[in-house]
Each structure stands twice: as C-alpha cells, then as structure tokens.
Structure 1
Amino acid sequence: MIKKYSIKKLLDQHNLFLNKKVIVEGWVRSFRNYMFISLNDGSTIKNIQIVVSSSEKLKKNFLKQITIGTSLHVIGIITNSIGKEQVIELQSDLIKIYGKVDHLLFQQSILQPKQHSLEKLRTQTHLRFRTKVFSCVMRIRHHIAFSIHKYFNENGFFYIHTPIITTSNAEGAGNMFQVTTLDLKHIPWTHDKIIDYQKDFFKCKTYLGVSGQLEAEAASLALGKVYTFGPVFRAENSNTSRHLSEFWMIEPEIAFYHLEENMNLAEEFLKYIIQYIIEHCVDDLYFLTNYMSKNEEQSLLKQLESLLTINFEKISYTESIDILNKSIHNNKVNFVHPVVWGMDLQSEHEQYLVNKYFKNPIIIFDYPCDIKAFYMKMNNDEKTVRAMDILFPKVGEIIGGSQREERYDILITRMKKHNINKQLLYWYLDTRRFGSVPHSGFGLGFDRLVQFISGMQNIRDVIPFPKTPNHAS
C-alpha cells in the first residue's frame, strides 16, 4: 500500500524514502517548462520538486491547468536530485488536480508571486496563511504554544480552563467588552431609570474576561501549581503595533512562591521556550531573517541564542527611576514624558532601559502600590508592592506578575482603595479566609512573545485574525 507523507518528513528523513513510491499532496509554488513543479504542503517552508513524467508531458492541456496555487495529489518515486537546489525529488507516476485557481481573482489577490507589504497582506487575512512569511510565523506560533504546555507539564503544573465570561475585572479598571442578550432596541428599564439586568441572560452585568488570574489563584491554593492559556479581551482604543483587542495570555499561579522564586521561574520559562524554538524552527527563522533583510550578525537565530547565555538584569523600580534621571542629567537622552518616582513607566522609558542602557532583557520589581493592581502584596514600606515586569527589546513588557496579597485584612484595605466590589469577589476573599499561603504568579502576553521571537514589527502579523479598534471582520 502506498503511503502519504508530509513534505517535511520526506525532506528531513530523505534517506529512509529513497527509491520508494509515496504520495504527496500540496499546493503549487512554481511550475517550470511543463517539467518541474515546486510543491508545498505547509508542513515546512521548504518545497519538494516534482519531476513530471514523460507520459504526463504528453497531456499538454492537462498541464496547462497547473498554475501557482493549484492543489495536487501526486504519486511517485523519491530519488536523489541532480540539481543543486534540493537533495531529493519525486519522479511522478500520477498527478491529480484537486482544485484549480481562478486566474481573474488570482490577479487581484495577495497570492501573486511578488513580495507584498505586510499592510497589504492584512487586507486579505484569510489568504495570507498561504504566503511564505505568514506560514513561517504560524509554524513558530504553534511551536511556542506547544513548548509552553510541554514546560508546564514537565514541571508539575496543572492546566486550568478559566472562564471567558466574567462579572469582575481582575485589574480593577474599565475598558471591557460587555456580554448581553438584551434586545438593544427594547432595553428593559427599572423604575429608577437604570437597565434591568435581571432580564438579561445571567441576571447580572457580564463581560468578556481580561484575565484568568483570580480563578487560577483559587485553583493554585488547592492544586499547588496551575496555569491558564486562553483568549482575553480588552476594549482599549489602542491602535499601536503592540496592542490587540483579542489576544492570548498564559498565567501560571503557584502556591508557596515568593517574588524571587516567581522572577526566576519566569526567566527559566522564557529561556525554555526560546531553546525549543531554536531546536525546532531553524528554517522558518532563517527565512524571516532574510525577509526582513537582516544580516548574519543580526539574525533572529543569533539574537535568540544570545538570550540563553545571559542572566536577566534585576533592578528595583526605584533604581530604574534613578538610572533614567541620571541619563537625563548627563544629556544622554531626552524623554517626552517626565521621569518622577510614582509614575507608570512609559514605552520610551522601558525601551531606553532595555535597548540602550542594559542592552538585555531586564526585570523591574517593587513598583509603587498606587500604579499596580489591588491583589499585589504590599511591602513593609507601605509604598511599594511585590510586583515584577520583564521587559524585552523592541516589544517592551512581555511578562507582568507579582507575589499576591495573602493577608485578608490588607487585601480588604487595598480593595477599598481601588473601589473593588467585595461582594462580587466574595469567593476571592474566601481563598484568604480558608488557609491562605504566600503565592505568586505572572501573565505572559503570548502574542508579544511570538512577535519578539519571529521578529515581526507589528503584533497584528503574528495572530491569525487580528481584532483591533474598528476592525472585527
């Protein structure tokens, strides 16, 4: 029986398949002289060359139907190639066309054999999977996701599915997408002229979640080590190269973990993922390096390898402010936003610290309590909390986390200060009433990590169908 194989397997293990008859299926990348077909099936950036048999060459009308994008079923024998471009090729016995290409539509599509801008590719998101650059990014995205699950499984974490629909905002801020089944043309009102959510599906106001952290905390206080990996939603009107309205987050939560352990875990976790990508995505990284016209010294592979040889610099928030102010004083830099203790670091400040001052990823910890969420543990100075952010070159903050406030009384005080409804979060407070322990966790922006590893400049180019302000189609 003749077996079907992926092109990646045939190329990676070509010695096993020499002189064997196999089936390959894929899409035509090029067709030269009615003789040589480059076929790709998405399993790798590389193509396999199909050599059209002498009997097939006689079918000119049939071969004229084979154009770029045509999908084929091919049976043939794997042989060594005499050409320099490939190690093996497939000598065809039978070629069958699955799907032809509409030439008029093809001329108007992004599939024409020329390099389009990434902005142009975004206008036809359903087709950009078929381009080399986007298929590379999607393979890398897959391997990053797989390595994340692999790391946590190997290190004793349990995968928790946290709700997408929620009644609370984990960050204590606005900008959430509301979920409702109310007829917006006939909104039910109470006698007090407010919307009667008792008539809604859940009988209360609900939203798409911005985080699974609080629920993951509850699970960690029974299971020890857990993580979430799912979509989150933020209705911020941010049209930047680093923001999406729908994106993916990884959020581990660990019982009996203090801040230092949390920072070490995050660094080890990132390095594990990077090592995995280096081992499994070399061809895609090389292609993306060439696509972005980087030289060998600036190659994505070199940049990733360099991160594995260094320890991330750890500095307190106060130290970071001192560095920024000294840099201003020494006329090394001018910032648009003023630098004062207590402010939220802006992107220009983060990028200066990462790209110019340290020239490496950094971890900033012990932020002012007034700019951080209510659940972060208060330090003894009562001015800062046990928070930490990891900043990467180009993409800025990639991980944000903290040691969580396990002390019930202090948590209540923090909730009041942040105007958090303790009735809605009674269950979260219960986790502090029943055997609370020191615990920590962090959130990793999955799409930003893909952006960093793939070298893409815009986060919209690392997710299959980006959702951003004014763009939901």
Structure 2
Amino acid sequence: MIKKYSIKELLNKGKDVINKKVLVEGWIRSFRYSIFIILNDGSTIKNLQIILSKKLEKKIYKKITIGTSIQVIGTVIKSIGKKQYIELLSSDITIYESVNSSILQKSILQPKKHSFEKIREQAHLRFRTNIFSCVMRIRHHIAFCIHKYFHINDFFYIHTPIITTLNCEGSGKMFQITTMDFKKNPIDFTKDFFKCKTYLSVSGQLEAETAALGLGKVYTFGPVFRAENSNTSRHLSEFWMIEPEIAFYNLEENINLAEDFLKFIIKYILNKNIEDLFFLNEYFKKWNKNDKKYLLDKLYLILKFPFKRISYTEAIKILLKEEKNKNIKFFHPIIWGMDLQSEHEQYLVNKYFKIPVIIFDYPSCIKAFYMRINNDGKTVRAMDILFPEIGEIIGGSQREERYEILLQRIKDTNTDKNKLWWYLDTRRFGSVPHSGFGLGFDRLVQFITGMNNIRDVIPFPRTPNNAEF
C-alpha cells in the first residue's frame, strides 16, 4: 500500500524515504520547463519539486496551471539541485481541479508581487500565498502555546459570555444586540429577547474575576468586540483577547507572570516556527531595505534582557527631561495625569531604553474603576507592557478587593452599580487580593510576524465599513 504524506512530513524524513513510493497532494505553485511542478499543501513554507514522467498523457499537461489541485504518486529521489534535498519522480498524477488561465490572471495566485491591500480584497484566497500561510501557521502555534503555558502553570480555562449588559471599562462604544424592530418608537427593551439592553462584550475580565475567587487561577481566550470607529493599522472591531485572573496575586507578581508569559510564547515560536519566521525575516529584508531592525533580531531582543520597569511618574520625568535636554517636540504635551500617547510610549521603548518597558502606578483618573487605589490616593496598581513598534501589548492591574473603596470608585466613575451588584457581591464573600491582565492576541501575532497591519494577521478582519466574507 502506498503511504500518503504531507509535504512537511515528507521533507522532514529526507533520506529515510529515498527510493520509496509515496502519495502527496497539494496545489501547484509553479510549472517550469514543462517538466518541473512546485507543489505546496499548506503544511510548511517549503515546497516539493515534482518531476513529471514522460509517460504522462499530453492532455494532463494542458490542465497544469498555477493553483491547480493535484494528487501525485511517485518515487522519492535525491535531488541534484541545491534548493532541495529530495524531489518526487512522478508515475501517476490525478488532477482534482484545474484553474482557468483567464481567471488566474485576475487572482492574487498569479506569480507576481501584490500589495497587501489587493491581497486583502481576496482574503478567501490569501491562505494560499507564502506570506499569509506563514502568518496563519504562526498564529495557530501562538494560540496552542498560550493554552500550553496556562495548562502547565495550573490555570483553568473558562468561557466568559460574549453577550453582556455592561462595558467592563465603563467607556467606549459597543455593538448592541436586539431582536426588536428599531422603527418602533419608543423601544421597550423589556420586550426584547433578553428583556434588557444587551451588547457584544469587550472583555471577559469581570466574570473571570468571579471565577478566580473560587478556582484560584483562571484564564479566558476568546473573541471580543469594539464598536469604536478606529480605522487604523492597529485596531479591529472583532478581535481575540487572553485574560488571566489570579487570586492572592499582587501587582508585582502579576507583572512577573506577564513578562514570563510573553517570553515563553516568543521562545516557543522561535523554536517551532523558525522556517516561517526566517521566510518573513527575508521578506522584510527585501522590501524594507531602510529598516535595519529585522524580525528575528527583534524577537531575540525580547528574550535577551529583563523588561525595564518604571513608574508612571518616572516615565513623565524622563520624557520632560528628554524634551528639554534634546529639544524634542512631542505632538502631545507632557503633563502628569495625561494618558501616555503612542509617541511617548515609542520614545521610551525605541529611543530611551531600547528594550520592552513596563510602566506601573498610573493616575487613577485615567484608569478603570476596578483597579486598586494606592496609599497616595492618586494612583492605582495598574501596569502596561510596551513593545517596540506596536506599543502597549499587555494592560493589567491589581484589582480593588475592598468593598467600600470599590463601591466609591464605581460611583466616582458614574458606573451603574445596579448592573454590577454581582461583582460587588464577590467582595463580601471572602474577598482577597487578586490581579490579572489582558493581552490582545492579534496584536501579539502582529508583533511576532512583523506585519504592519493588524488586518493581515486575522483570517477575515472586521473593521469599520468592512465585514466581507
């Protein structure tokens, strides 16, 4: 019986399969000199070279075009070429579906460079391109690695609701869910499906906190939604978040966990996806010749040094000093109490420290109600981890475990305490210090793959004015 192999499996076996008869399947990437087929099945960035037998019927040759899906039976031989160790001498080819040349010319599968905008228009086909197959394989392994990290560290995976009645942060726009006819005026939401106003969730944090206060260590990993009109290269309307919550953890322990978590993921991907990363690294070298910080160098830098940790107040002092001494003109004026802008974060990471930076103890006026107030009464036990190029990659805090203080914070921020009765209730039944953070999964994939636009690291991006496919 002839054994079927994926191309990755076959190439990895190398000399062990020479002279063996095998079966492979895939899509044709190129057809050269009417004898060499370059085949790929998505399992690896590498291709398998097929040598066509002279005994094949001529009608088969006419059906061989780029994109055509085929099955090949043949004998593995050692290649005389330098680009591959083995190749396949075909004895039989079955064509599943050929691609009409006129259709091919209009698609992104034709062998030429396309803009990312053009490729995005054909998102249903871009999995077949080299660069996006790399990104999607890396995306898969990052997701798997995240579950692995939490599993070996005794976290429990929980599913928090996608449908909610409250914005976790207390601000921002949300997608409303209803079965009501909005043409009717006024709308009586007590007659709606859930008998109240409901939305697509922006976070599972609050629900995860309740789970942590019974299970100790939990995490969520799922889709969340923002209805903000942020049509930038760093924002999506539908994206994925990882949110661990840990009972009996203070802010420092939370920061240690977050740094270890990020380094674990990057180390894992460097080990598991080095071929894909190398392809992306060479791609960016070719097309971004002015950028000397290549992808692999950037990833290894994350592992090389401990992240720099500074307070928000220290960060403000550094920025003011740099502005004065080096005559730097920031677009946004630097004032204590402001929310740091991307230009400030990137200066600290790229210019001043030149390594990832963790900023903690932010002003309470710019942070959410659930963050623990410090003894100074002005700052909260919050932290952000800033990475080169993309800025904030993790945001987290020690949560306010004291009932009266939490209640006052809810009132001060004009948050509806009636909708949070259950959240407040957890502070009356054996409340403990606890912490957590949120990591934007797609933004992490963007950083690791080096892609400039977050739309290019998710299979089917949902952004303002765009919900195709």
For normalisation by structure 1, the TM-score amounts to 0.96
Are the counterparts in 1 of residues 72 and 92 from structure 2 also a CA contact under 8 Å? yes
Distance 1:184 1:79 in 2: 67
Are the counterparts in 2 of residues 282 and 301 from structure 1 also a CA contact under 8 Å? no
TM-superposition CA deviations, 1:78-120 (whole Å, max 9, x none): 1211111110011112100011113222111111100111111
What residue in structure 2 maps to residue 211 of structure 1? Answer: 203
Cα offset, 1:331, TM superposition: 2.8
Alignment-mate amino acid for residue 363 of structure 1: I
Cα offset, 1:297, TM superposition: 6.8
TM-superposition CA deviations, 1:2-41 (whole Å, max 9, x none): 2211111111122332222211110000111221111000
Distance 2:11 2:140 in 1: 20
Gaps of at least 5 residues in structure 1 are: 190-194
Cα offset, 1:132, TM superposition: 0.8
1:419 equivalenced with 2:411 (yes/no): no
What residue in structure 2 maps to residue 348 of structure 1? Answer: 343
Query: Cα 1:297–1:2, aligned 2, differ >3 Å: closer, same or farther?
Result: farther
What residue in structure 2 maps to residue 268 of structure 1? Answer: 260
Are the counterparts in 2 of residues 398 and 449 from structure 1 also a CA contact under 8 Å? yes
Please list, as runs of the form range in 1=range in 2, the aligned pairs for 1:165-176 lying within 5 A after superposition.
Answer: 165-176=163-174
What residue in structure 1 maps to residue 213 of structure 2? Answer: 221
1:66 equivalenced with 2:61 (yes/no): no
Alignment-mate amino acid for residue 415 of structure 1: I
Q: Which moved more, 1:260-269 or 1:331-340?
A: 331-340
Distance 1:162 1:358 in 2: 37
Distance 1:409 1:146 in 2: 40
What residue in structure 1 maps to residue 229 of structure 2? Answer: 237
Cα offset, 1:332, TM superposition: 4.1
Distance 2:315 2:58 in 1: 70
How many residues are matched?
A: 465
What residue in structure 2 maps to residue 374 of structure 1? Answer: 369
Distance 1:440 1:105 in 2: 55
What residue in structure 2 maps to residue 468 of structure 1? Answer: 463
TM-superposition CA deviations, 1:39-60 (whole Å, max 9, x none): 000011110011112211xx12
What residue in structure 1 maps to residue 77 of structure 2? Answer: 79
What residue in structure 2 maps to residue 181 of structure 1? Answer: 179
What residue in structure 2 maps to residue 13 of structure 1? Answer: 13
What residue in structure 2 maps to residue 150 of structure 1? Answer: 148
What residue in structure 2 maps to residue 48 of structure 1? Answer: 48
1:196 equivalenced with 2:192 (yes/no): no
Pairwise CA RMSD:
1.3
Gaps of at least 5 residues in structure 2 are: none
Are the counterparts in 1 of residues 69 and 95 from structure 2 also a CA contact under 8 Å? yes
Identity across the alignment (%)? 69
What residue in structure 2 maps to residue 192 of structure 1? Answer: none
Please list, as runs of the form range in 1=range in 2, the aligned pairs for 1:247-326 lying within 5 A after superposition.
Answer: 247-293=239-285, 298-326=293-321
SS across alignment from 2:458: coil
Q: Which moved more, 1:411-420 or 1:282-291?
A: 282-291
TM-superposition CA deviations, 1:277-319 (whole Å, max 9, x none): 1001111111112222267973322221121110000000000
Cα offset, 1:188, TM superposition: 5.6
SS across alignment from 2:446: helix
Q: Which moved more, 1:136-145 or 1:295-304?
A: 295-304
Are the counterparts in 2 of residues 176 and 209 from structure 1 also a CA contact under 8 Å? yes
What residue in structure 1 maps to residue 354 of structure 2? Answer: 359
